[in-house]
Amino acid sequence: MTRISFYILKGTEAASRQEFACRLAEKAYKLGHHVYIHTQSADESELINQALWSFRPDSFVPHQIHQGDDQNEPVLIGHDAAPPRLMDLLINLNPSQPLFFSQFERLAELIDDREEIKIEGRKRFQFYKERGYELETHRL
């Protein structure tokens, strides 16, 4: 069963949520895991793509925006489809829970202090809880 972790971040800047997603993806990549970052739109996918190149000058996280073909990068970014293969960690930046979340070993939900993010996060928390998933909460 998928392990689900909610990360509660301080602040209302979208960039801090993106930076945390990058740090989490980097950590998972260094541990040998494959990561899928699920965004809300093509624009947000591109923002995460750029952030992964620049969030830390000494970091390198091989990644690619998912475009439907077979991609072997350990970190994929997408917004409108499930990943093309089984992966270990799903980082969800989308306001709703992805329909494909249960194919992952782990799911990370990133919540910040923006009211709309918190409201949608509460809905996802309730959705997972009602279905019997074990939930962890990390306040950062």
Distance CA 76, CA 94 (A): 15
pLDDT of 20 reads: 96
pTM: predicted TM-score of the whole model, two decimal places: 0.94
We report the CATH number of the domain holding residue 112 as: 3.40.50.10110
Q: What is the pLDDT, as a whole number, of residue 67?
A: 82
Q: Which domain, by its residues, includes 133? A: 3-139
CA torsion through residues 130, 136, 105, 83, sign: positive
- Residue 54 corresponds to which amino acid? S
Q: How far apart are CA 36 and CA 85, in angstroms?
A: 10
Structure letter (DSSP) for residue 100: T
Number of folded domains that form the chain: 1
Angle at the Cα of 44 from the Cα atoms of 46 and 2, rounded to 5 degrees: 110
Q: Which pLDDT does position 111 carry in this prediction?
A: 96
Q: What is the pLDDT along the chain (140 residues), one digit of tens a residue?
A: 899 999 999 988 888 999 999 999 999 999 999 999 999 999 999 999 999 998 888 889 999 999 877 678 999 999 988 898 889 999 999 999 999 999 999 999 999 999 999 999 999 999 999 999 999 999 98
